[in-house]
Structure 1
Amino acid sequence: MTQQRLLKGLQFFAVVVFTAAAIVLIQRLGVAQLRSQVEQWGVWAPVGIFLLRFTSVVIPALPGTAYAILAGGLLGFNQGVAVICCADICSCSLSFWLSRRYGRNLVKRLVGEGFMYRIDTFSQRHLERNFFLMTGCLMTGFFDFVCYGVGLTKAPWGRFIPALVISIALSNPPFVALGAGILEGGTRLLVFALLGVFGLAVVTYFVQRRDATA
């Protein structure tokens, strides 16, 4: 439990530092100049965000939500959604495959023993029998753990991939829109983002409630 609390504390600290640095950078450069700087980086800006998001999913101890917000702020909504969704499809598929191919021992090395209880919890919930429950779990903030957990079950690729694609299509746009709306001052994007985040919170609540009563 001590290791788990330490990792949670480091994760929270990383998110705070990352957010503070982004705010300072925006205040110093301004949105227009920041976007201009990003354009000068060319393809390396989306590639960098792709790698950050990809790594944060394969190694769940790293924060991932901040990168979705960052993608919206730096790349805009359309490109930001494309980058984050591609990163999630690739990383989640890899997590599922690693878990299915090499089993629990490799997963423990990647995520640490302190986080294995989450993966074991998802693997023991018989998600492979309920497509909608699997999709709902993949829409929560623990989707990276869910991918490893489902990989430890007998769920086939043909059932996992559609659930993954649906969950990514529904859960990523609100967070990317939040970043784009904050920096661009777009009221519609912010309203969409807040409604989407609220919807995801509702899904998470019902998934956790079902788990508690199971």
Structure 2
Amino acid sequence: MKNSVIKKTIIRIAIIAVIVAICIFIDPINTTIKKVFMVFKMASTTGNLDIIKGYILSFGIWAPVVSFLLMIFQSIAAPIPAFLITFSNAAIFGWVKGAILSWSSAMAGAVVCFYIARFLGRDSVEKLAGKTSLESVDKFFERYGSYAILIARLLPFMSFDVVSYGAGLTSIGFWSFFWATGLGQLPATIIYSYVGGMLTGGTKMFVFGLMILFAVSILIFMIKSMWNKKSKVKL
């Protein structure tokens, strides 16, 4: 048993070391990662989503593939906001196709985070997502139990990526995680894509803020109603 644990730890360390080495020492990958972070930083700072839109469009026919990979990348690198990609997808591909692309790529990103956590363990996840953020998600899971993932996906202020990492550290089955994630993120993806397809530039950032406030109010009301009904049934 002890040898098995040691072997798994060595394998995990080796995988992390290889990934870090690739990102640092292979110049094309290192340059690309730096550029992606710079693009997201500029868009977040200025509120101008045309920066991300221009970056995705620069890849021509490969734009959908690049967008898909960007969403997975932002899932792993939790600090990057996913809604920037969702808005950009809607502006580039139209809100319906953009919503499908954003939803499917976010699902792929969630699965990647889930299995990273399950394979590499808590220590590695804390380095990726942050110890404090992960602890807050742990408490959320303890409070809401089997409904935690679905509720977390509906709440726009809950980190999509940290929830995926946190779920991977629990005993929850993959398919339960998958369906709760898919169903929970669908409403927000559709709404953000619809708005994103109509607006351009910094206006999206303003509308996003208003939508967050609206969504939070509605979701709190819904969750409270569900909780009250559940309590009455128990009584």
TM-score range, shorter chain: 0.5 to 0.7
1:44-64 C-alpha deviation (Å, 9 max, x unpaired): 221222222221122211121
- Residue ranges of structure 1 left out of the alignment (5+ in a row): 1-9, 27-33, 184-190
Shift of 1:105: 1.0
Task: Give percent identity, aligned residues only.
Answer: 21
How do residues 21-36 of structure 1 correspond to structure 2 at under 5 angstroms? 22=50
1:129-160 C-alpha deviation (Å, 9 max, x unpaired): 33xx4212122232221111122111111311
Shift of 1:206: 5.6
Q: 2:187 aligns to what?
A: 170
Match of 1:16, as an amino acid? Answer: S
Root-mean-square deviation (CA, aligned residues, Å) is 3.7
- Residue ranges of structure 2 left out of the alignment (5+ in a row): 1-37, 201-206, 226-235
In the alignment, is residue 135 of structure 1 matched against residue 163 of structure 2? no
Q: 2:73 aligns to what?
A: 55
Work out which of the residue numbers 6, 11, 17 in structure 1 matches 2:45.
Answer: 17
Q: Distance in 2 between matches of 1:52 and 1:148?
A: 18
Q: 1:7 aligns to what?
A: none
Shift of 1:76: 0.9
Task: Tell me the TM-score normalized by structure 1.
Answer: 0.67
Q: Distance in 1 between matches of 2:138 and 2:70?
A: 25
How do residues 54-73 of structure 1 correspond to structure 2 at under 5 angstroms? 54-73=72-91
Match of 1:104, as an amino acid? Answer: R
Q: 1:150 aligns to what?
A: 167
How do residues 190-205 of structure 1 correspond to structure 2 at under 5 angstroms? 200-202=215-217, 205=220
Shift of 1:73: 0.9
Task: Tell me the TM-score normalized by structure 2.
Answer: 0.62
